[in-house]
Structures are given as structure tokens and as C-alpha cells.
Structure 1
Amino acid sequence: MRYIIALMLAFLPGAGWAEDWEDQLIFNEGAEGPRLRVISSTDTVLFAPLIEEFVAKNPSISVEYLVSGTADINMRVRAAADAFDVVVSSAMDLQLKLANDGYALPIDDIDTPHWAQWHNSLFSFTTEPAAIVINRAAFEGQQVPVTRQMLIEALRKRPEEFRGKVGTYDVRQSGLGYLFATQDARASETYWRLMEVMGGLDVRLYCCSGEMINDLADGTILVAYNVLGSYAAVRAEGKDALEVIFPTDFQTIMMRTALVSNATREPDAAEAFIRHLVAEKSAARETQSSLPPLTSPGGVTDRETIGLNPALLTFLDDLKRKKFLSAWENAVIQ
């Protein structure tokens, strides 16, 4: 329903969206030159260093940073592409579809690997795995689950301890959650067994990684599945209660992407911002950002980096999406 409301607001004259943002911040306010509007799914605390480095190099440009969920970003850009200059999201599939549908402005001659860009319109700048995050106290004296099957066995062994204490994405609402879920399901049938077990334990469903980690930290939940690894690592740092696990059976790894809106009012500044992201997060450079760098998939068999290619669009097909969500609801909503 909130997405329908967002669309309605987009077409109402003078309607303001400020109250709808998860976060909103202006960098280098008062600069005499253009102001970029960057809509992003990345928490400000993680992305701010990249923006600060950009405005330090481009002091005449200010940046308005607007944070929203991945599915919501897709809806907003489609409703009003001219409202934004740069679109950043962890939902690779939705981003690729935006670019494929003509919402991205092509940029030539960006120095990035062929596998990290799509038709000079969509550009990857980080490589980030999904993780299992646990509250260590819940596994004291127990074997820590490092595979999905081990997690299933741990949850089945102590159902009453974990009832209502396990969290994952609500894939009906989260674009990134849906991406991780479809990729997991393609990789192994273990995913569906895990979802059934979690559903039987009254799993808590979340919009985003940050909320899951907050609930882990205060003990509301004891296990979170498919948390974005970059968020988990930052939030768990210095917190002895939490442990971040990158599954050893296989890793689902996404690339965070950015594009310039085809309706941008500041094409030169927006292009400069994209070039900055790609340059700062290339594997050879160090940056103050906590976001990990862009690294090559490397052909390692236990790492499944999601490819930036047309296969991403498979589960965005209306019939396939409806079928997948139906199977997911049957497993999880018990």
C-alpha cells in the first residue's frame, strides 16, 4: 500500500516527499554550483564518506542524499525520473530493469571491468555478500552454524528457544531481500527447507538489514538470515554479542550499483559522481568508506557473485514473481 501512496504523491502538484525518507541530508550546503539529488538504499553512515570525498574534490557542488528502501526507490524513479540525478541501490535486478527500460543515461569511457557495468548505463562499485548473523549467547556451548544445513539443524534442535527469535527479509516488500531469496533458491533446495523451518518458528520479517541487526543487538531476535554483509560487519564491530557468518556451503554476493537518471537536470555533475564512486571503490584504492571495494568474482566455486546480466530479469517477470512469492508465502507464512 505504501508504494501505491508513493505513486499517488508523485503525481500530486506540489506534494512533498520529505516526510517519507528514511534519512535526508545535504552535503556542502551553500555551494554555488549545482545540487545533485542522490536517491539511495545505503544507510547514510556508510555512504557519507564517499559523498564527503566527492564534494571535497568538487567544492562547487552540493549533494542532497535521500535514503529509501530498494523497492520504493524503483517505484519513485519510475514515477518521477526528473526528481533525481543519481540512483544507487543494492537491488541489482531492479536497477538493471531501470537501465533496460531506458531510465539510465549512458556514460562512455568509465574505467571499470566489463562484468561490472551494463551497456555503459549501470555501474557496480562494491561487492557484498549476504551473511548469517547470530547472537553468540544463544549458541554458547553449541556448534556455531556455518552452513545453511547446520542452521536448519540448530533451529530444529531447540525450537522453543528460537520461536519468534529468528529474522529475515520480507521478500514481498524488500527488493534486496527478493534478490537474495531468488538467487539462493536457484543455488540450492536447502533454501526452501530453511524457509519452512523458519516459518514454523514464527519468523520475524523485516524491510532491511539495519532493522534486523538492531533487533539482534538488543536480543529481540537471536538469528538473522541473509543480512547484508557490509552492514553486519559495521554494526557488529566492537559488539561481542554478535557474530557474522559467511556461509561455507555457498555465498550469495551482490554488487551495489549506480546509474544517472535519464531525466537528470545536472548530467555533468551526475556523471562526475558516478566516476567518483567507481574510482574510489575499485579494488586498488583505499577509502574512508566502510563499504567494501569492487572485487572480481574470480571463479571461486563457493562464491556466487550475482552477474550483471539479463538473467537478473528472470524473476521480475510477473508470472515468475507471483509463483515465487506464492511458494515463499506457503513456506514462511504458516
Structure 2
Amino acid sequence: MVLLVVGFFLVLAIRHNASTAASEAFDRVLEASALSIADTVAYVDGEVTVDIPYSAFAILGTSRLTRIFYRVAAPNGEVVTGEPVLGLELGPFSGPEIRFVDSTMQDEPIRLAAVGRYRSDATTGASGWITVLVGETREARDLLTGQLTANAVLPAMAVAICAFGIIWVGIRAAFSPLRSIERNLSQRTPSDLDPISENLPREIAAFARALNGFMERLASTLDGLRRVTADAAHQFRTPLTALRAQAELALEETDLESIRRRLQKIHANAVTASTLATRLLADATLLHAIKSGETRRFDFGALAESVLERTKVDAQTDGSQYAIPFDRPATPVWIDADATSLSEAISNVLDNAFLYGGGPTSIVLTVSNGSAVLKIIDRGPGIPQDQRDIVFERFERNSLFPGGSGLGLAIAKDVVIALGGTITLEDPPDGGLGVVIRVPVSTEGKRPGSRRRRHSASVLTILAALVLSGPWAVQPARAQARGAFSITAPFSPERFRPVIDALSARFGELDFVYYQARSAQVAARLSARAPVDVDLVLMAAPDIAVSITNQGLAAPLGIASLDIQSGSESAWRGELFALAFDPAVILVSKGYTAPVPTTRLDLAQALESARGLFKRAGIVNVGVDAVSYALASQDSLRSPLYWRLAAAFGSSQARIYNTSAELVEAMAAGEIDIAYNVPMSDVIGGGFTASFQVIIPQDYVLGLPWTCFVPATSDSSMASAVAGYLLSPKGKEVVSNVLWRVHRPQVLEIEEQKIALGPELLVYLDSIKRSNFLDAWFELVTSP
């Protein structure tokens, strides 16, 4: 129990230290992100602008667990970009110092970093502190805290288990001498109470000493009982013999006066035998009480007064009159003793004072040097000094008073010594004899029993909390719902039919309903918190899917059976998963006989040349098509050739289409001869591959993730199971057939640069970043 309690608090301490270390580590990362954004803020033509670096969110997204939020505020508090309600509790502040606070966002605890930058406008002269706030949820911190705790606790537990085993063996070895003690005791006769003499270790020797002490006390008790028995046999013999002799003589007497004398002697011997029997029985009873050591706390003065009153009553019944003054303190004198034994001792001393004192008796109770001192003083002849050592011996009688038993003072001495006190004789100033009884006074203390009960209760409370908070806690099982299950994706119903058929065969209890919807449509409804009757979403725009997940609109799936690491590019937060990666390719008309461009540089040079063929180029409007915008932003991160290509398309007066599907149809119809960054799913899925050449870029190929997630509004208990099936190898084969008509076409046997799912995709969704990107793109592609 002690080890469990100590271990519990040790784990708490370790977890606290791990939490502090994890928080400090992640705060440094959060600080770097905030500072990188703060370094891009500026005043331009009287307005605050910011160009969020891609790395600002990329470094926060390395764990693939946390959601991120940000806000940039102008000096007047107006929101420039980001979440309007983020960190409002901080209020306006100035200064470049970084600040960390715990806050909440969308009902989730977050860690927030805030920093200010002073900027001024060279045109208008406007200036002030621009505030940058960046926050992240605590999943990665909690995960690292758990890992650090486990890394510290598990070795400690291993060492504790090994130490426990060693201690177990050591204790068994150390206590092996107990077996020799057992053999020693089992071979003894019942009357053999001699001390154990063994060559024992120090720890066992202490036990042996205690056992020897117990046997010594037991032997003392047995000796006392034998002594009482022997005394009784010896002492009763004389008065009983005298009784028998006097009775026989009385039977032979005929004279009434002689008979009367014989009866008087018989009565005297009977009184002696009765007194002796009473004293011996009292001696045996007190012997048992003394050896048992049982005590209780009581007022010594009240006990002495009750004994005095009882003794006065007994004396008055005999016809004697005594005035016995009792001087005692006004406050109780508490002692720990056996009240019965001490009463008998005081009674015996008072009886001796009445019997031998022959005059007034007084009693005084005081407290001195931690002892209660009771003095019983008579006015009798006293006891000579040479006889005071023997008056406490058993059966020592005063020859002048033959009626005594010789046990009174002996019993009193045994009782007082057993209580840790002393009994002595002294000479009072006015003559007579004083008997002084000293016993230790009691010290006020706590009741250990109640404390042990409180400690036991607290331990049980801790263990109950451990059991209820640990893996033994019972959680209510969630009932499986049966019925309709709705799915939405950007495919036509005919094209998506194989997925529905596969799911229906796998989950016969569900009625699958399919809705065709573009990524932007689904995102608009979910972001508006509008009712959406959808249980599973398939989406081709990864940045929009990440944005939805970052807003807390996706439900955690907890698919433990999948071979998908939470830190890989294929999953984020256990809520968003990649079904497949769609490569972006170049399309060239089959009528083009010159060497086709195989790299972006070749394509840019071809478009910039005077070849008439490539003047019929086509490009997708990245401001309209979400998938093309995601490819364009990722392309611009990897190579500055993207902007050269955009200018080259502009110089060739490329036609602009709203979607890549329209671009592929125009290519198949012969309206254009060249297209760039077209997803392979639109190329093969449309069935137009015979009309043009598919060129795999040799410099690098972007892999666009097709994502799936379950909206948080879904109430289907089968959502995780359905998503898990689609993410399994068999489910991915079905999705691959829908995307590319085959499981893995030869043209797709390439090494893509997969676009990772993570908060870094949110950078180009920032309103200012997106606006600047689209302005630059439109300027280039529309300029001849």
C-alpha cells in the first residue's frame, strides 16, 4: 500500500516534469512560428499587410496532430487576417516581447503565443504596434508528455520490479534463521521457558529478544501462580489444623465455659483463615492484572477518595470512628494504570494504618516532578528502621497484632512497582508512620486508532481514484446504428458506383446514399455550421480538407487497424486520411512531332518560342478550381519556374478553363495542344487518353492527396468502419479503379512528391496570401 501511494505521487511528479519539458519545447516552436510571421508584417499605402511564410505553419505541423489558429491585428485592433476571436482576452499590447498564455478556441484548450512589431508607413506616416497571435491545440504536447512520462516511469518500474525480486530473495534469506527458532521451540517441553540462544542476524535477534522477554514474563507469571499455590498450601495448613483440633476438643468438653473458650478460639482461627484466603485470592487476581499490563486513564484523586470512603464504611461497620482528612489538588491528577490493582494497593495501606496506627490518619495527594505522590500518614508507633526492609516481604506479621495476613504491604509493593512507581516509608514530623506511593502521571496524547482510520480512508480514496481513472474504468458501449449511410464526392454517380457496390457488399446492413458535390460546396456548408446529412466525405482539394479539419469539423476515426502513421503525409490528427495520391501531368497533342517537353524548363522554353503549335495552350483558372489552386501553390513552393510558366502561358495567350475536366475535354476536342498540372484521375477517368500524349515531368511530379473524413455532425456509429474499409488495401484498390480505371496503371509507376496533409496547407488559404497569389497569377497569365 505504501509503495502504491508513493508510486502514485512519483508518477504525478514525473508527469508534471514531463509536461513542463514538453510545454517548453513546443513553446519554442510556437515562438518561432509567431516571430516568422511577425517579421513579414508591414505598412503599405496606409494598410497593414502580411505575407505568411509557408514554414511558419510547416514547423507547427510536423507532429500531424495539432490544429493551428492565427490572427494579425492592426494597431487600432482591426483584424487584418486570421481568426477574429483568437486571443481577445489578451487585449491590445505593445512591445516586442513574446508572451505565452493558455486559452481556448472552438471549445478546445490551446497554447497561444503573441508578439508585437512596430511598423510605420513611408507613404502616409501611419505607425503603431502590429500584433501577431499564433495558437495550437495541445494534442502534440500531451502526446510528448505521455511519451516522456512513459520513458521515465517504465524504466523505474522495471528497476522497482527487479529490486522487489532481489528484496524478496534477500528477505527470505534473512529470515531463514526463523526456521531454526521454530525447530528449537517445537522440540521443547511445555515447561521449558529458557531463553533462546542462537547466532542470529541483528534483525532476527531483535525478534528473539522480544520472544525471550515474553517467555520471561510468562515464566514470572507461572512462578507467581506456583508461589501463591505453595503459600496457600503452607499458610492454610496451620489455621485449618488448629480449627480441627479446637473443634475435636470442644466436642469432648462438657463444661459450658470451656466449650465457649474453645468456640472463641475456633472463631479466631476461622477469621485468620478467612482473611488469609481473601488476601491470597486478591494476590492471585492482582498478579494476573499486573502481568497483563492493561491500563486506562483515570483521575488518581477520585480513585483514592473512593477507596477511602469504602474503607471508612468498612471500619465503621466494625464500630470504629475515624476522621480522615484528604488533601488533594483542585484539578484532576491523570494517570495510566489498572484501577482495580491500584485500589487494592491503597486499600491495603489504609487497612494497615487503621490496624496498626491506633490514632487519626491523614491522606495527602500532590504532583511532583512528573509523578503523582500519595502520602498516607498515621499516628501509630511506627516501624523501627531495622525492620522496614522486611515489612514488604510476604507473610511478615506484627506479633502484637496476630490477626494480619502478612500480605497487605507486599501486594501494595508489587502493584506500585508494576505501574512504574515506588512505595517507601518515612517518618512524619509529628510522629507515626508515612507510606509514600509515587506513580507517573499521564501525558495527554492523540488517539492513534482514529489517525490510522483516517490514513486508511485516504489511501482507499487514492486507490479508488486510480481504479476509476485507469484502464479498469467502465465506459458505456455505443449502440451500432443501422440504416442509411450517406457519402459525398466530386465524382459522377456512374463513376462512383463501384465504391458504392463494394461498400454495400461489405456492409449489407447499411443503405448507402451518394451525393455528388465539389469540395468548395461541402466546405461552405460545413464551415457555416449548417445541417449536413453526410456521413463520409471524399475530397480532392487537400487544403480545403485540412481547413475543415482545423476548424474541428471532422470527427476522430480511431482506426487502429490501418498501417498509417499519424506523423506521415497520409494522415493528420487521426481525422483526415489520404486514400490515394493523384499525380499531376503534362498533356501534349499527339499531332506534335517535335520533341515533347519533359521538364518544366523545357515547357517554359517551348511556350516562350515562336512555335505556332503551343499558341493553342490551355490552363485552369486557379481562382475558381480548388484542386488547381492547391497544385499551383505547391508548385510555386518547389520551383520559381512556376511563375515563368505562368508568364509563358500568358505570352502564348492560353485559354482559361474553370476546371481541369473541362481542360481535358477541350484537349480531346482538339481546341488546345498543351496543358499543364492536370490530375491523372481527370485524364484517365475521362477516357480521352487516345487523343493526346501524357507526359510525366522528369524534374518532379506532384502527388495530390485524395482525402476522406467523417464530418463531426455525423451520428453514424459505422462511419469509422466504412472509412477503415476504404483505407484498407482492398478499399484502396476500389478507389484506384474509380480514379484511374485500373488498380495502378503503368504510367503511375513514378515517385511523386506527395503533398503532405498538415496545417502548412492553410498558408495559401490565408485571405491576404491568396489574394496576392491570385493577383500575381492573373497578371501573368492575362498579359500577352
Same fold (TM over 0.5): yes
Could you tell me whether the CA contact under 8 Å between 2:584 and 2:703 is conserved in 1? yes
Q: Which residue of 2 aligns with 1:63?
A: 512
Alignment of 1:86-235 (within 5 A): 86-110=536-560, 111-114=562-565, 115=568, 116-137=570-591, 139-140=592-593, 142-163=594-615, 165-235=616-686
Q: Deviations over 1:88-123 (max 9, x none)?
A: 111111101101101101111341422221111111
Q: What is the rounded CA distance, in whole Å, between the counterparts of 2:492 and 2:693 in structure 1?
A: 21
Could you tell me whether the CA contact under 8 Å between 1:133 and 1:224 is conserved in 2? yes
Q: Which residue of 2 aligns with 1:22?
A: none
SS in 2 for 1:131: strand
The structure 2 residue matched to 1:75, chosen from 512, 524, 528, is 524
Greater CA deviation, 50-59 or 77-86?
Answer: 77-86
1:154/1:43 Cα in 2 relative to 1: closer, same or farther (>3 Å)?
farther
How many percent of aligned residue pairs carry the same amino acid? 28
Q: What is the rounded CA distance, in whole Å, between the counterparts of 2:610 and 2:512 in structure 1?
A: 49
Could you tell me whether the CA contact under 8 Å between 2:684 and 2:739 is conserved in 1? no
Q: What is the rounded CA distance, in whole Å, between the counterparts of 2:762 and 2:635 in structure 1?
A: 15
Residue 55 of structure 1: how far off its partner (Å): 0.8
Could you tell me whether the CA contact under 8 Å between 1:125 and 1:256 is conserved in 2? yes
Q: What is the rounded CA distance, in whole Å, between the counterparts of 1:229 and 1:85 in structure 2?
A: 27
Letter in 2 for 1:248: Q
**Structure 2 residue 774 is matched with structure 1 residue 322:** no
The structure 2 residue matched to 1:246, chosen from 683, 692, 696, is 696
Q: Which residue of 1 aligns with 2:113?
A: none
Could you tell me whether the CA contact under 8 Å between 1:168 and 1:227 is conserved in 2? no
1:48/1:112 Cα in 2 relative to 1: closer, same or farther (>3 Å)?
farther
Residue 198 of structure 1: how far off its partner (Å): 0.6
Alignment of 1:295-310 (within 5 A): 303-310=752-759
1:223/1:45 Cα in 2 relative to 1: closer, same or farther (>3 Å)?
farther
Letter in 2 for 1:107: L
Could you tell me whether the CA contact under 8 Å between 2:587 and 2:693 is conserved in 1? yes
Q: What is the rounded CA distance, in whole Å, between the counterparts of 1:259 and 1:168 in structure 2?
A: 30
Could you tell me whether the CA contact under 8 Å between 2:541 and 2:626 is conserved in 1? yes
Q: Deviations over 1:34-68 (max 9, x none)?
A: 22222212344543212210011222322222223
**Structure 2 residue 718 is matched with structure 1 residue 264:** no
Q: What is the rounded CA distance, in whole Å, between the counterparts of 2:512 and 2:656 in structure 1?
A: 33
Q: What is the rounded CA distance, in whole Å, between the counterparts of 1:324 and 1:286 in structure 2?
A: 36
Q: What is the rounded CA distance, in whole Å, between the counterparts of 1:153 and 1:100 in structure 2?
A: 40
Greater CA deviation, 147-156 or 60-69?
Answer: 60-69
SS in 2 for 1:291: helix
Q: What is the rounded CA distance, in whole Å, between the counterparts of 1:81 and 1:180 in structure 2?
A: 30
Letter in 2 for 1:133: L
Letter in 2 for 1:271: S
Could you tell me whether the CA contact under 8 Å between 2:550 and 2:759 is conserved in 1? no
Letter in 2 for 1:72: Q
Q: What is the rounded CA distance, in whole Å, between the counterparts of 2:752 and 2:516 in structure 1?
A: 29
Q: Deviations over 1:197-253 (max 9, x none)?
A: 11122222223222111111111121121111122134356x432111121111111
Q: Deviations over 1:147-182 (max 9, x none)?
A: 11111222233454333x222221111111110000
1:40/1:325 Cα in 2 relative to 1: closer, same or farther (>3 Å)?
same
Q: Which residue of 1 aligns with 2:502?
A: 53
Q: Which residue of 2 aligns with 1:40?
A: 489
Letter in 1 for 2:540: S
Letter in 1 for 2:635: D
Q: CA RMSD in A?
A: 2.5
Residue 134 of structure 1: how far off its partner (Å): 1.6
Q: What is the rounded CA distance, in whole Å, between the counterparts of 2:525 and 2:776 in structure 1?
A: 28
Letter in 2 for 1:69: R
Letter in 2 for 1:74: A
Q: What is the rounded CA distance, in whole Å, between the counterparts of 2:654 and 2:605 in structure 1?
A: 16
Q: Which residue of 1 aligns with 2:762?
A: 313
Q: What is the rounded CA distance, in whole Å, between the counterparts of 1:60 and 1:167 in structure 2?
A: 47
Could you tell me whether the CA contact under 8 Å between 2:559 and 2:720 is conserved in 1? no
Q: Give the count of matched residue pairs.
A: 291
Residue 288 of structure 1: how far off its partner (Å): 7.2
Greater CA deviation, 225-234 or 76-85?
Answer: 76-85
Structure 2 gap segments, 5+ residues each = 1-481, 745-749
Residue 87 of structure 1: how far off its partner (Å): 1.5
Q: Which residue of 2 aligns with 1:29?
A: none
Structure 1 gap segments, 5+ residues each = 1-32, 295-299
Higher RCO (Cα < 8 Å, 6 or more apart): 1
Q: What is the rounded CA distance, in whole Å, between the counterparts of 1:167 and 1:74 in structure 2?
A: 28
Greater CA deviation, 44-53 or 270-279?
Answer: 44-53
**Structure 2 residue 728 is matched with structure 1 residue 279:** yes
Q: Which structure is higher in helix share?
A: 2
Q: So what's the TM-score if we normalise by structure 2?
A: 0.35
Q: Which residue of 1 aligns with 2:737?
A: 289
Residue 290 of structure 1: how far off its partner (Å): 3.7
Q: So what's the TM-score if we normalise by structure 1?
A: 0.79
Residue 72 of structure 1: how far off its partner (Å): 2.7
Q: What is the rounded CA distance, in whole Å, between the counterparts of 1:62 and 1:220 in structure 2?
A: 43
Could you tell me whether the CA contact under 8 Å between 1:41 and 1:73 is conserved in 2? no
Letter in 2 for 1:262: A
SS in 1 for 2:753: strand
SS in 2 for 1:39: strand
The structure with the largest alpha-carbon Rg is: 2
Greater CA deviation, 218-227 or 106-115?
Answer: 106-115
Q: What is the rounded CA distance, in whole Å, between the counterparts of 1:281 and 1:170 in structure 2?
A: 35
Q: Which residue of 1 aligns with 2:80?
A: none
Could you tell me whether the CA contact under 8 Å between 2:499 and 2:738 is conserved in 1? no
Q: What is the rounded CA distance, in whole Å, between the counterparts of 1:288 and 1:69 in structure 2?
A: 19
Q: Deviations over 1:11-53 (max 9, x none)?
A: xxxxxxxxxxxxxxxxxxxxxx522222212344543212210
1:70/1:167 Cα in 2 relative to 1: closer, same or farther (>3 Å)?
farther
SS in 1 for 2:739: coil
